[in-house]
Amino acid sequence: MKPVDILLTVATFIAFVLAVYLFSSDPVLSNSVNWAEDRAPVRAGSERSDLPALIPTVFVGNSAPDKAPPANLAANPSWKYIVIHHSETKRGNAKIFDNYHRNSRGLKDGLAYHFVIGNGTDSRDGEVETGNRWERQIAGAHCYDNKINAESIGVCLVGDFNKSRPTDRQIKSLLKLISGLQKQHGISKSNILLHKEADKNRTDCPGRKFQAGKIR
């Protein structure tokens, strides 16, 4: 065998092994109704030093000081509900879901949720990421019912809570986020909904193992 043929054979073998590795490292997807499903093609940086002015400090992950949001935020007066989701994936973050929603789901405004709370895979455990829809104060696309989308703030926790529970830091950050949003928009406890409550009989989101009692 000629040296050129040997090199081509070796290169082909390396390319094959790399392709197998990359494919097998993707998360397992389900056929859920949740908008967050993704093959996680990229890993976004977890550090954020350029958070937009619309996001109160309390929303920036598990190490943020627990204080009320600034009073001068430009806010949409339509927000009446908070709807809680899980991604039903093992991993993910706002950037990954945004890419999937734009390119696979055809959502021109990208990420269907307003906030995503990480589980330590593609962002820090408990890190709260803000989406384009919150920055622009526009409706989400996280429920089947568009009337609910127009009036609700969508929050997605990364994870499949039919198989495991949210992490302690995710719950802690979710409680901080809900508290801040309640103060900012005057949202009552009765209007904090699980996705399955907002879209009755159409989903089990945020999963059987989500501890609704802790939140309530």
**Pseudo-torsion of CA 34, 119, 44, 33, nearest 10°?**
0
**What pLDDT, on the 0 to 100 scale, is given for residue 204?**
94
Global pTM reads 0.69
* Residue 167 contacts residue 127 (beta carbons within 8 Å): no
* Residue 176 contacts residue 57 (beta carbons within 8 Å): no
Joined tokens for residue 64: 């943020």
Q: Give the span between the Cα atoms of 61 and 141, in whole angstroms.
A: 23
3-state secondary structure of 148: helix
10-residue averages of pLDDT along the chain (216 residues): 58 52 32 37 31 35 36 62 96 95 92 96 96 92 92 96 96 95 92 94 94 84
**What pLDDT, on the 0 to 100 scale, is given for residue 75?**
54
Strands 192-194 and 81-86: parallel
